[in-house]
Amino acid sequence: MNFPPPGRFPPLILDDVRGAQKMLSGVSRVTPLEGSRHLSALVGAPVQFKCENLQRTGSFKLRGAYVRISGLTPVERAAGVVAASAGNHAQGVALASALLGVRATVFMPVGAPLPKVAATREYGAQVRLHGHVVDETLAAAQEYARETGAVFIHPFDHPDIIAGQGTVGLEILDQCPEVRTIVVGIGGGGLAAGIAVAVKAIRPDVRIVGVQAAGAACYPPSLAAGHPVSIGSLQTMADGIKVGRPGDVPFGLVRELVDEVRTVSEDELSSALLLCLERAKMVVEPAGASPVAALLSDPKSFRGPVVALLSGGNVDPLLMQRILTHGMSAAGRYLSLRLRLTDRPGALATMLGVLTVADANVLDVSHVRTDPRLGLTEAEVELHLETKGPEHCEEVAAALRGAGYLVMG
């Protein structure tokens, strides 16, 4: 597929997505649908995950990148391609270029997770670390394109990219013909736009719900204004959908075809990621868990059967550790409290015995005996406990109070 320069793109139609699907045959995987009993019970209808976290390179990005690079002329291929990304798009462009025999240069932020940098290099791309935020990295990649003639591969703002991502929608309809709602995370909008083009052309009755992180939600104000607008500060752990402005091409399609765009909080994202790991045994990055967060936040508002798209699983292990801790705290699995006890031998052991009976796991204990606020015979203990959930937290606190301890929360 060859399109004219930006600003003069023809409308994207179902045939474009079907053409992309043929192009991707034998290249991208037809990723599975996996049912979620927990979410199905909450929604009151079947809920299934579309597992693009199991796609080659760990996300859906290979689809659009391959279609875009496939559409280049021989002269453009000879000049090579360049991209800017902190992770998923970088890996998609790197692998697509390697498969097509095209030289690829990928600019990544200086602080990009080392596993993503290493994976991008292993797929065959030359990696250049530049800038501390994606905007700086993007500017460097575009300057490189101007200087060298390399073709800039945008992560979402091109019809070929959108057509490639739209093949996910065709697979969903084949795998779950009875689907009534598709929930998908939105950053720049390429994935949601492509799915909407494919699905609405075949099943206009299917409701498509986009999900953004509340701290990086550029679509609600843009939809209200009727055109893409930039937002200022971007604060979210979901770096895969951390985009400050919708793409011009996907915005028009999202506005026309996506039924609703919702936002989710950081706590909801953490809880969703934890649920994917514990209940579905799925390693999912925060952006990929955003549809699950939306389902958890208001399950009864979704008409089933529902397909929630897990768009990627490329998460840095250190970030995963922090997110899981945050998610367990948001889910009431951690309890922090302070209490007073008599400063005498064995008092701490007696208090810990109460926690043993209450079946709370002690993660950390801080024992203070010299604070001037304490009486001569008092000590203060700060506890960090692992519990089984909010109800268990209340039971543990009640057990301590019942044993005569002053619990200060």
Q: Are 199 and 173 a contacting pair, CB within 8 Å?
A: yes
Name the active-site residue from 61, 116, 200, 242.
61
Is residue 281 among the annotated active site residues? no
Pairwise CA distance, residues 1 & 166, whole Å? 14
* Alpha carbons 283 and 311: distance in angstroms, whole number: 11
3-state secondary structure of 201: helix
Q: How far apart are alpha carbons 167 and 25 in whole angstroms?
A: 11
The letter for the amino acid at 121 is: R
Cis peptide before 305 (omega within 30 of 0): yes
- In angstroms, rounded to a whole number, what is the distance separating the alpha carbons of residues 14 and 20? 10
DSSP letter assigned to residue 93? H
Let me know: does 270 contact 326? Beta carbons within 8 Å: yes
Q: Quick check: is 61 catalytic?
A: yes
How is residue 87 annotated by DSSP? S
CA gap 209, 264 in Å, rounded: 12
List active site positions: 61, 311
